[in-house]
Amino acid sequence: MEKILNKINDIIDTKYDHMFVGNELVSSGNTLKEIKKYVKEQYDAPTKDIKGYIISIKIDKKGKIPLSITCMQVTITPKLFIKSMEDDGVQTFNYSSDAVIKYGFKMSHLKKIMSAIKNDMVSYRKSGVSISEILK
């Protein structure tokens, strides 16, 4: 399991938060403020509000939940403001030790997570959702 967790950084840098738009990585930063600054300065303004996804990955090799991914849907306005709207959601997806061994970690998992949030396929009543609900 530790080998799988160590390889995650080869796929995506877990030290940073990442912003995706349309399954494309747009920006990474230590803070949401850094991501917002980058988008404001470097991203082409959309013609209408679009959805983006802020992804945070946490690895805890000794914990009950060795891998968790938090995905927050945000709205990017034509003036390049990033904000949470009424229809935006946030959820944490947890990998148990068994799930890490069974599924490993792939970039496609992030895409499935973003799709699940976008299409309202996850419950927001719980503080976390098992990744197996998304990957099955």
**Could you tell me if residue 98 is inside a domain?**
yes
3-state helix, strand, coil in the chain (%, to 5): 30, 30, 40
Domain count within the chain: 1
36 CB neighbour count, 10 Å cutoff: 20
What tens digit of pLDDT does each residue of 26-70 get? 999 999 999 999 999 999 999 999 999 999 999 999 999 999 999
pLDDT of residue 124: 86
Residue 101 phi, psi (nearest 5): -70, -45
Mean pLDDT of 108-133: 93
pLDDT at residue 126 above 90? no
pLDDT of residue 61: 93
pLDDT at residue 99 above 90? yes
**Could you tell me if residue 121 is inside a domain?**
yes
**Could you tell me if residue 32 is inside a domain?**
yes
- Cite the beta strand spans of the chain per DSSP E: 17-21, 24-29, 50-59, 67-76, 82-83, 90-95, 129-130
**Could you tell me if residue 16 is inside a domain?**
yes
**Could you tell me if residue 131 is inside a domain?**
no
Q: Is the pTM of this model over 0.85?
A: yes
Question: String of b and e for 40-75 (b: at least 16 CB within 10 Å)?
Answer: eeebeeeeeeebbbbbebebeeeeebbbbbbbbbbb
18 CB neighbour count, 10 Å cutoff: 19
**Could you tell me if residue 130 is inside a domain?**
no
**Could you tell me if residue 57 is inside a domain?**
yes
Residue pair 91/48 in contact by the 8 Å Cβ criterion: no
pLDDT of residue 73: 97
Average pLDDT, the chain: 95
**Could you tell me if residue 133 is inside a domain?**
no
What six digits make up the tokens of 91?
A: 């959820």
What tens digit of pLDDT does each residue of 10-23 get? 999 999 999 999 99
Structural domain for 50, as ranges: 2-125
